[in-house]
Structure 1
Amino acid sequence: MYTKHYYPFQVIPVRGGSINDAYGIQYGKDRFFCKINDRDTLPDLFRKEAKGLEYISMTKKIRVPAIIDVLYTETHQIFLMEWIDTTTPTGLSWEKLALQLAGLHNCTFPNFGWFEDNYMGNMEQRNQQMSTWSNFFIECRLVPQMKIGYDQDLLEKKDLLGLQRLFNRLPDIYPHTQPQLVHGDLWHGNILFDLKGDPVLIDPAIHYGHAAADLGLTQLFGGVDSRFYDVYTSEADVAPNYREQWEIANLYPLLMHLNLFGKSYYSGIADTIHSFV
């Protein structure tokens, strides 16, 4: 005789960033991570995030959470994925991250950009394909954020002029390189380490860009272990001026945070402009 088994079902609110409601779901021995957001405010946010995770997973370079499903109701979008139990990283964990990220960056493509626009956090991110990093960085990253900042009175004309002067220097600061697959939002909050100490990346803003976009962002908002940088710079093909490249790449997340959270991020932008023009 067949007997049905019913397991306890628990839903527990957890931290999931600043833009989503997030929950841990326990069903029997199975655990899942669930994010929920408004369906129309950020259209297809989770579908695009899932595509990014799937693409990274297919490279087999670094682990990401397994995707269960992206669901829609009349009012909400829901993202259900694997639950990752985490641990505090060791030095070896940071070295693994450096090696695996370098492997991800070795995945190349003919053009900079992506197959569709997506999001970084809760801001739309343009991904028109272009042949040079300088043009892509200017047109798809800096200019849209500069316009928002100016329209919100967070940037003045002198700031725009300074950034435009910096544009002329970008081809020399970023010599020709192949488009590299980047996570796109690699601050430390989007780097997990599983119980084996292996890295797991979450919340990508994936595109083919410049590795500096990932490496620079790791140094904002708290930074990561110095062993990560030691191994990455010895393993990857970094330019002699890689620190300059990382600093300038950070103009994009700094402008975005200026537009989202206000003037406290202005000094970082002004300092970078002053350093290079």
Structure 2
Amino acid sequence: MGVGGKVMDIQTVLSDLKLNGKVIPVVGGDVNQTYRIKTEHRAYFLKIHPNVKKGFFEAEVDGLKELSAFVRVPDTYMLGETSEGAYLLMEWIEPGKGDQRDLAAALANLHQQTAPQFGFRKDNYLGTLVQKNSFEEDWWTFFFKDRLESQISLAEETNRWNVQRQEKYLRFKERVLKSVEPKKITPRLLHGDLWSGNVFFDQQGHPVFVDPAVSYGNREQDIAMSQLFGGFRPEFLDAYQTIFPLEKGWKDRLPIYQLYYLLAHLNMFGESYGSQVDQLLENF
């Protein structure tokens, strides 16, 4: 179901695509209406979202293209919009079983890709929220401005941020900047929304990455998201550490990056995430 409960008419989208086939709803996501479309010759994956322009999905396609040279992602075929919203037609990849160690190897390969600066060539989306991506030389400048404080601004607009939270945040920011070592951090290619629902295995056991929020950043951010909501087996992180060991103290820094995702959940889903935000701000 689309955000806010509105549902787009899938028949309008299929007509726009000139596509006929059996329509099977796919469950599991919180952002888009999703369907498997089985035609005479092949199956497709269709995502539709109400009340947005096609730029919403153009950002996703751009992110998938950025990842595609290094990890397995679905092919994208067509995107467009109707009077109700936007849609994206993609390759249907039949899920299978795989080894979390192969997933770790794929992620490590992704993180080996570097850039001169933090950020990305354009803003994109984390879920339904705009993700800012201005270029910065300094990681902490980028992270606080384009990640945490952009989400705080959204929370202020919807009265989900108050004076008490702002005071906690400023103390949190001060503690972070005092605790991190003044060493150079390399901008690395990130998936950006690495929870367990955004990775799976195909029938050949290859890891598949979907729904990215791509940027070049600190790879600890991807690791932090992978550990926030569960779903990854212990051997995933063990294998990643063997292939591409994280910097000393990485476990202590994970809550810094997890705050970004908790703020985004506060903005998308409401005050049910407020207590987790408060606890993290107070306890780091």
- Per the normalisation by structure 1, the TM-score is 0.88
Read off the aligned partner of 1:9 and give its amino acid letter.
G
Read off the aligned partner of 1:11 and give its amino acid letter.
V
* Structure 1 residue 252 corresponds to structure 2 residue 264: no
Compared CA separation, residues 258 and 42, structure 1 to 2 (3 A): farther
Which whole-Å deviations, capped at 9, do the CAs of 1:161-185 have from their partners, x for residues lacking one? 2222332344542642111100001
CA offset at residue 246 of structure 1? 1.7
Q: What is the aligned-residue identity percentage?
A: 35
Distance 2:152 2:273 in 1: 13
Structure-1 residue corresponding to 2:96: 87
**Structure 2, unaligned stretches of length 5 or more?**
1-18
Structure-2 residue corresponding to 1:3: none
Distance 2:112 2:175 in 1: 26
Structure 2 residue corresponding to 1:67, chosen from 56, 70, 76: 76
Read off the aligned partner of 2:118 and give its amino acid letter.
F
Distance 1:72 1:158 in 2: 42
Read off the aligned partner of 2:40 and give its amino acid letter.
G
CA offset at residue 45 of structure 1? 1.1
Structure-2 residue corresponding to 1:269: 277
Distance 1:79 1:30 in 2: 17
Which whole-Å deviations, capped at 9, do the CAs of 1:141-178 have from their partners, x for residues lacking one? 11121123234333332321222233234454264211
* Structure 1 residue 44 corresponds to structure 2 residue 55: yes
Read off the aligned partner of 1:201 and give its amino acid letter.
F
What SS does structure 1 have at the residue aligned with 2:228? coil
CA offset at residue 66 of structure 1? 1.1
CA offset at residue 8 of structure 1? 7.5
Compared CA separation, residues 47 and 130, structure 1 to 2 (3 A): same
Asked whether the 8 Å contact 2:172–2:282 carries over to 1, the reply is no
What SS does structure 1 have at the residue aligned with 2:96? coil
Read off the aligned partner of 2:202 and give its amino acid letter.
D
What SS does structure 1 have at the residue aligned with 2:119? coil
Which whole-Å deviations, capped at 9, do the CAs of 1:179-210 have from their partners, x for residues lacking one? 11000011111011111222100001001111
Structure 1 residue corresponding to 2:194, chosen from 164, 186, 201: 186
Structure-2 residue corresponding to 1:122: 128
Pairing 1:238-249 to 2, within 5 Å after superposition: 238-249=246-257
CA offset at residue 79 of structure 1? 0.7
Q: Which shows bigger deviation, 104-113 or 211-220?
A: 211-220
Pairing 1:179-258 to 2, within 5 Å after superposition: 179-258=187-266
Distance 1:156 1:73 in 2: 38
Structure-2 residue corresponding to 1:163: 169
**Structure 1, unaligned stretches of length 5 or more?**
1-6
Read off the aligned partner of 1:72 and give its amino acid letter.
E
Which whole-Å deviations, capped at 9, do the CAs of 1:67-111 have from their partners, x for residues lacking one? 11222334432211110111244xxx1001111101101101011
What SS does structure 1 have at the residue aligned with 2:130? strand
Distance 1:50 1:147 in 2: 27
CA offset at residue 29 of structure 1? 3.4
Distance 2:23 2:272 in 1: 37
Structure-1 residue corresponding to 2:114: 108
Asked whether the 8 Å contact 2:57–2:88 carries over to 1, the reply is yes
Read off the aligned partner of 1:148 and give its amino acid letter.
L
What SS does structure 1 have at the residue aligned with 2:79? strand
What is the Cα-based RMSD across aligned positions, in Å?
A: 2.0
Which whole-Å deviations, capped at 9, do the CAs of 1:225-258 have from their partners, x for residues lacking one? 0000101122214111111222210100101111
- Per the normalisation by structure 2, the TM-score is 0.86
What SS does structure 2 have at the residue aligned with 1:24? strand
Distance 2:275 2:209 in 1: 30
Structure-2 residue corresponding to 1:4: none
Distance 1:218 1:261 in 2: 19
Distance 1:263 1:12 in 2: 33
Distance 1:14 1:265 in 2: 26
Asked whether the 8 Å contact 2:52–2:86 carries over to 1, the reply is no
